[in-house]
Amino acid sequence: MSILAEASNLKKYFEINNGVFRKDSTFIKAVDDISFTVNHRETLGLVGESGSGKSTVARLFLNLIHPTAGEMRLNGIDIVGADSRTMKMLRQQIGIVFQDPSVSMNPRATIEWSLRRPLLTNGKKKVEIDSQIGDILQKVNLGMEVLTRYPHQLSGGQQQRISVARALLLQPQLLVLDEPTSALDISVQAQVLNVLLELQGEFDLAYLFISHDLNVVRYISDRVAIMYLGKLMEVGPVDTVLEHALHPYSRALASGSPPLSPHQRRRNRLLLSNEPTSMIDLPSGCHLHPRCPYKKGICVKVPPELQKVEKGHMAACHRIGKI
Amino acid sequence: MKGFLSAFGVACRNKTFLAGFVIMLSVCFTAVFADVIAPFTYDEIDISNRLKPPSTQHLLGTDHLGRDSFSRLVYGSQIALKVGFIAVSIQILVGVSLGLIAGYFGGWQDRAIIFITDVFWAVPTIILAIAICTVLGPSLTNVIIAIAIVSWAQFTRIVRSKTQALKNMAYVEAARAFGENDLNIIMRYILPNVFPVIIVLASLALPVAIIDTTAMGFLGLGAQPPAPDWGVILSGSMTYIREAPWIGIFPGLAIIYIVLGFNLLGEGLRDILDPRLKI
Amino acid sequence: MTDRTPILSVRNLEIKFKTPAGLVNAVNRVDFDIQTGEIYALVGETGCGKSTTAHAVMRLINSINAPGHQIKGKVGYKNLDLLSLPDEEMCNIRGKNISMIFQNPLDSLNPLYKAGYQIYEAIVLDRIAKVDAWHRVLDLFKDLKIPDPERSISSYPQELSGGMRQRVMIGMMLSRRPKLLIADEPTTALDVTIQAQILNLILALRDSLGMAVWVITHDFGIVAEIADRVGVMYAGVLVEEGDVFEIFDNPIHPYTRMLLESLPQGSKHDKRLCTIPGTLPDPTLDISGCPFQDRCPMNYEKCSRKTPPLTMIRTGHKTACHLATKEV
């Protein structure tokens, strides 16, 4: 599979200003040296809990915020240093879908307006715009009557499908989805997931699917990357990582996730102790060590690097294979 | 248009709004059709008829120069509304623009604008208005300028905080993601969503502007006699308060009426547009 | 494990709300029991009425937050009818006999008072001496496995993390040892690893205190994790009820079956997810017949004429469907 998008040593630190004269600043390392790739036509699941940095990664990829360090490339083209003309082209290649569908569209504008804007802003001709909008609505199983409505007049599922439609109008190659189904009911989630799968096949899309729900990620992803407090813990094919996780955090997530059936209740569970630490006061060495049942001396002192364990499967833990 | 009418219909279900709207309508009607409603002009002097109590010929009596109080009241509404609307419009123009810039761009623009805003916000309005009118000279135009200057800060504060909240909304991020430039985002995405807040604040700023106008008129710093500014009438009525109380009572009541009306309108609008506005 | 005396008995519960659009049927003749010491999960999607049912049982719906509402039916607790109890007596029931925890603990804890004090406040309602009460607070914090208990007691809610706040709220609600705990979406706002801890905590407390737990959720994962029995609600109606294994393995009602089929399981290569066509019926309309008829793949003629009653199909497994009772 060929690489569509990649992030190399991506860092995003947010400065918190303490003190009146801004002399003592501390940093929140929201994303701390992350590297990953998204291949053409694949779905990479990005999993993490709150504070993991996954939403920051989404915003970095869309150039909504600038990285502190590191590179991002789309089809080999550098995103970070792109001039405005290249940026304009790149923006059309990446689309985004947000978590809360009720605020994804301008509440004071009709759906038609919200769908026309991306096309108008990118210089499409009026003639093409109407037919493109009609086409894309059909693809997400919505009728033309939604065009005259306002967002609050539509259901959550409809709003989210419009969000997907808008993201696809510029015919991107990569769609970044930030918790796209977390705010939806189960049956509505199923509709949106089905639509996403159909569209992926029809338009040859790649998805960066960000979620905290492991069942959804397992269902829709080909590969998965697990983040914790700004760092990557494990990356690999989704079934391998979730069934045979190497990293204690991945195991905790996988086994701590509520089961799909009561028969799985007595499953072996790895529960992490305590709470995730604050992002200001990160632990030394491996960030997980205060909560990890397998911690040894080295874990407190040395941050683990992502090591390749087998083809396509990497984990950042000093104790791989010994636990 | 249809949407506007149906929205208006819904709005009228709110009794506060309805009451305020009716009052406002009556005042505007009076101001617009002053020439028709008022039986006399506002400066028709008739010394032989001075200080007469209300009668069929002079509905609200006459003042110390024999001018018809009712007519002066009616023409006075024109001044009140004119100053109110123009001054508040300037406040909106300046205040909203600064608020949008400060809220959206942050950084040094925000710090600079907040500094200026805080200075103007801290000074008591009447005192500043008096100072300005004293310096510029007493006239209605200068009152308008003064009121605009002392009270624009209220718009900046509210618009700035609302803008700061809105710029992080998903739909704004989506717009940036597909390439909308800053000006478009401010004008098409943020401003329409700040609009309800502005409308409410404007309807509440208007009665304050009218009271300020009246105060300035009362102090002799605004419209000059023979202009039928309610404040001027009130001020003139003080001398004759024992012999002819009606000269002062009716402008006083008129001020209460118009201020009440716009306050009700504003409160009603606030309830209708978004009960969670928290302003 | 559970004896046959229900701790809570809901009969014919009907709740209507007055809205600008008309009278809304939020809950439509719901019947169920919660047994002593069991964990009963009431599950459904948005708008099914599950949360409203719990709020009505706790008498939290009043003329201030829901003017013009109507509540009919009977809620049996011990030998009282909670719906007809005078307000002061209901206050005694709340906290002491039946407690409730909510979705967002930050909203439920008072930001102006320290966490420990808020639990202390509850404990002294039972006229416990101050010194003893504070000891109980410390013990409770330790039982709840709140890290650094002494410091947490003197912390304000905003200073605690989401998981800790939820524990404080659980502590507050269990401090007087109620017989029934109602948990309304208790882990929705929490991270997965914290959620696992909280669910474990609820199970442990159930075992040690012998209390019943009524969980309200839209998440079947939570149901699978801790429930003993399950009730499925749709459009204000209880459409199926039974033992948790029964419901997952042999669902009968078409809605339950389609809902379980729409859960993401396995991988996309195996199958597409089942979706339920259509939308919820208009709650302002009185529907004759089954509320699910317009979306049901079966939908016989009888379904639009007569509302199917909740009927026992197998031992302990009830459903409200004409097809299931072979009456079509």
pLDDT (tens place) for every residue of chain A, 323 residues total: 689 999 999 999 988 766 555 556 678 889 999 999 999 999 999 999 888 899 999 999 888 899 999 999 999 999 988 888 898 899 899 999 999 999 999 998 999 999 999 999 988 888 889 899 999 999 998 999 999 999 988 988 999 999 999 999 999 999 999 999 988 899 999 999 999 999 999 999 999 999 989 999 999 999 999 999 999 999 999 999 998 889 999 998 888 888 889 998 866 677 777 777 777 778 888 888 888 888 888 888 888 988 898 888 999 999 887 77
Give the tokens for residue A218.
Answer: 């397992």
- Class for domain C6-97+178-327, per CATH? alpha beta
Cβ count near A129 (within 10 Å): 17
Interval B134-161 mean pLDDT? 91
Question: In percent, how much of chain C has pLDDT > 90?
Answer: 47
d(CA A23, CA A18) in angstroms, rounded, equals 7
- The sign one gets for the Cα dihedral A95, A55, C275, C102 is negative
d(CA A220, CA A201) in angstroms, rounded, equals 13
- Contact between A149 and A110 (Cβ < 8 Å): yes
- Contact between B72 and B254 (Cβ < 8 Å): no
Which of A49, A153, A179, A186 is the best mutation test for C, with the most CBs of C within 10 A?
Answer: A186
Q: How far is CA C325 from CA A58, A217, C230, in A?
A: 51, 38, 20
For residue B170, list chain A residues with Cβ-Cβ distance below 8 A: 98-100, 103-104
d(CA C119, CA C146) in angstroms, rounded, equals 13
Q: Is some CB atom of chain C closer than 8 A to the CB atom of A49?
A: yes
Identify the bridge partners of residue C30 per DSSP, sorted by sequence position.
C13
Whether B275 shows a pLDDT value over 60: the answer reads: no
For residue B175, list chain A residues with Cβ-Cβ distance below 8 A: 106, 117
Write out residues 59-78 of B within 8 Å (CB-CB) of A. Answer: none
Give the tokens for residue B181.
Answer: 């430039």
| CB contact (8 A) between residue A271 and residue C196 | yes
| CB contact (8 A) between residue A107 and residue B171 | yes
For residue A171, list chain B residues with Cβ-Cβ distance below 8 A: none
Q: How far is CA B116 from CA B106, B157, B212, in A?
A: 15, 11, 22
Identify the bridge partners of residue B170 per DSSP, sorted by sequence position.
none
Nearest CA in chain C to A277: C161
Q: Is some CB atom of chain C closer than 8 A to the CB atom of A268?
A: no
Q: Name the residue with higher pLDDT: A296 or B274.
A: A296
Give the tokens for residue B21.
Answer: 């709207």
Nearest to A219 by CA among C247, C272, B253: C272
pLDDT band at B274 (very low <50, low <70, confident <90, very high): low
pLDDT in tens, C249-287: 999 999 999 999 999 988 888 888 999 988 888 888 888
SS3 label, residue B83: helix
pLDDT band at B186 (very low <50, low <70, confident <90, very high): very high
Whether C34 shows a pLDDT value over 90: the answer reads: yes
- The sign one gets for the Cα dihedral C251, C252, C255, C258 is positive
d(CA C240, CA C254) in angstroms, rounded, equals 10
* CB-nearest partner of A193 from C191, C197, C273: C273
Token pair 């401010």 in the structure block, residue: B186
| CB contact (8 A) between residue B188 and residue A92 | no
d(CA C326, CA C328) in angstroms, rounded, equals 6
pLDDT score recorded for residue C181: 94
Cβ count near B45 (within 10 Å): 12
For residue C266, list chain A residues with Cβ-Cβ distance below 8 A: 218-219
d(CA B152, CA B140) in angstroms, rounded, equals 18
d(CA C92, CA C146) in angstroms, rounded, equals 28
Contacts of A84 (CB under 8 A, 6+ apart): none
Complete edge-to-edge strand list for the sheet that includes strand A77-78: A24-39, A3-18, A69-74, A77-78
Nearest to A65 by CA among A77, A56, A53: A56
To the nearest whole Å, the CA of A285 is away from the closest chain C CA by 21
Interval B8-33 mean pLDDT? 88
Nearest CA in chain A to C191: A49
Nearest CA in chain A to C266: A219
Cβ count near B36 (within 10 Å): 9
Q: What is the largest CA-CA distance in chain C?
A: 68
Interval C41-69 mean pLDDT? 91
- Contact between C267 and A219 (Cβ < 8 Å): yes
pLDDT in tens, B77-114: 998 899 889 999 999 999 999 999 999 999 999 999 99
Complete edge-to-edge strand list for the sheet that includes strand C22-35: C22-35, C6-19, C70-77, C80-81
pLDDT score recorded for residue A146: 93
| CB contact (8 A) between residue A88 and residue B177 | no
Which domains occur in chain B, in start order?
69-261 (1.10.3720.10)
Q: How many residues are listed for chain C in this entry?
A: 328
pLDDT score recorded for residue B248: 85
pLDDT in tens, A277-318: 777 778 888 888 888 888 888 888 888 988 898 888 999 999
**How much is the mean pLDDT over chain C?**
89
d(CA A240, CA A41) in angstroms, rounded, equals 20
Give the tokens for residue A7.
Answer: 């992030």
Which of A66, A102, A103 is the best mutation test for B, with the most CBs of B within 10 A?
Answer: A103
Helix B69-105 with B230-237: angle, nearest 10 deg: 130
d(CA A289, CA C262) in angstroms, rounded, equals 38
Identify the bridge partners of residue C6 per DSSP, sorted by sequence position.
C35
In this complex, the chains that touch C, judged by 3 or more CB pairs closer than 8 A, are: A
Domain residue ranges in chain C: 6-97+178-327, 106-177
Nearest to C256 by CA among C305, C320, C314: C320
Count Cβ–Cβ pairs < 8 Å, chain A vs chain B. 61
pLDDT score recorded for residue C166: 87
Burial level of B144, CB count in 10 A (0-12/13-18/19+)? buried
Whether B30 shows a pLDDT value over 50: the answer reads: yes
**How much is the mean pLDDT over chain A?**
89
Question: Beta strands A206-211 and A174-178: pairing type?
Answer: parallel
Give the tokens for residue B205.
Answer: 């700023």
| CB contact (8 A) between residue B179 and residue A121 | yes
Contacts of C270 (CB under 8 A, 6+ apart): none
For residue A166, list chain B residues with Cβ-Cβ distance below 8 A: 174, 178
Q: Name the residue with higher pLDDT: C127 or C226.
A: C226
Whether B279 shows a pLDDT value over 50: the answer reads: no
SS3 label, residue C188: coil
